[in-house]
Chain A
Amino acid sequence: MKIIAAIEHVIKKPIWDCQMCGQCVLHDTGMTCPMTCPKTLRNGPCGGVREDGHCEVKPEMRCVWVKAEDRSRNMPLLPTVWREHFNNLRPPVDNRLKGDSSWKNAISGRDKETPPGWTPVAEAPEAEAKA
């Protein structure tokens, strides 16, 4: 199984700077890896984004979520269902999956498992809730 993880890493690292969290949500986040955010935020940008749209922690880097939001709306060929998933409340990361192949975990459904006490929210935030 390690060979699948190795192949995934070789492909995804150069393109998305994949961090191998083993529970990939790239498709829901405008094809922008949220694990490259210094705070590894999976549910949108923190309140520390700079006036120029750059990262609080790494001033030279454009905020991962500013990029993700922009791409989720404007990237051509992105399936509508992926765009619609952008606002979903993504559950806490399962740290046991780090280094594992997310492809394998997507096929087995392992990446969808959440802690028993976690309840998904009933409705996704309204897409119209933007200014």
Chain B
Amino acid sequence: MSRLGELLDKGDELIITGEAPVIDGGTLKDYEAKLAELAPWCDAMNATDNTAAHAHASNVAMAIAMQRVGVEPILQVVCRDKNRIAQQADIMGVALHGVENICCLTGDDVTAGDEPEARRVFDLDGPQLVRLANSLKEGRYLSGRKIDPAPSLVIGAVENPATHPLDYRAQRAAKKILAGARFLQLQICYHPERLEAFVAALHANGFTDKCAILPTVVAVKGPGPLRFMDSSVPGISVPVETIARVADADDSAEEAYQLVLEQCQHALALPGVRGLHLTDFRKDGSISRLCADLGIRPRSERESRANDFALAN
């Protein structure tokens, strides 16, 4: 079973996932170098599926590439570009290569990307895709055709705790959990009170026992990416005071780092949160500093300590 799957089964240890950089040309060796900063800290990393509706090397190719350089992948599958037949083929295809972690998303619309004239698909929606992956895991295609042996899948999804309708977001997350999601990577949230309310609602109803909640934190270097996310990324709003805090500081890069650190600390302190999903926009070694400040050890150390613990018991 994948490391992520084992951690989910254990139910108590910290889980760190990361957003792998997209691939636009280059070799496997180049890609390995790009992964080098974030990968050592992550239990698994997302092989993204044409992020923000921009074409890149495919999710499937990326997952296999990650597997080959020793990084555990999470295959992201979005509903924008492919119909249900192709989505099943992709999940079964990576399973052949030993990829087990699947993260199901509705996906940004084509208009969010650089080819807004493209046809959008959305044959399924995010919750339906979770249920479809669950069918594959149980050994059958959507048609009912048998899969023997059934692929061993670890199914997850995403949810945005920060956007409207705010009161409904936890219920939508619950719908995905009931459909079979065992981990939820949350969209980056710049409204701490919204994240708190979202996680508290899931926790109060026992959903955090069934599913690992992993809030996203984006390591930014200054006010630029904050302004960009606020204006251009669907579903993300960054309060003006948060942008001003970073923009007006004497040392914007350091202030941005402190903001990121606070976001991580805040998220990890919420009852029901199992870990973090990290995205690195800084690419300046800050992830090591961040993990050190949070007391998070590299994956290899966490792995071996967990083994020691298992042997001792």
A interface residues (Cβ-Cβ under 8 A, vs B): 38-51, 53, 56-57, 63, 65-66, 69-70, 87, 89-93, 95, 115-119, 121-131
Interface pair A118/B174, CB less than 8 Å apart: no
Stretch at the interface among B39-47, B55-63, B66-74, B103-111: B103-111
B128:A91 contact, CB within 8 angstroms: yes
Choose from B127, B160, B202 the contact partner of A43 (Cβ within 8 Å): B127
Assess the A117–B135 pair: CB atoms within 8 A: yes
Which chain A residue lies CB-closest to B169? A131
Contact call B174/A131, Cβ cutoff below 8 A: no
CB contacts (< 8 Å) of A63 on chain B: these are 164
A95 to B83, CA, bound (A): 11
Q: In the complex, what residues of B have CB within 8 A of residue A42's CB?
A: 125, 128
| A residues less than 8 Å from B221 (CB atoms) | none
18 A-B pairs in the complex with CB atoms less than 8 angstroms apart:
A39-B79, A40-B125, A44-B175, A46-B126, A47-B158, A48-B112, A49-B164, A56-B112, A56-B234, A89-B127, A116-B140, A117-B143, A117-B145, A125-B175, A125-B178, A126-B174, A129-B174, A131-B167
Tell me if B163 counts as interface (CB < 8 A to partner A): yes
Contacts A51-B237, A117-B144 known; list 12 others, CB within 8 Å: A41-B106, A44-B172, A46-B234, A47-B163, A49-B235, A50-B163, A50-B234, A53-B164, A87-B174, A92-B142, A115-B142, A131-B198
A57 / chain B contacts, CB cutoff of 8 Å = 109, 111
**Contact yes or no, A118 B106, CB < 8 A:** no
* Residue of A70, A93, A125 touching B165 (CB-CB under 8 A): A70
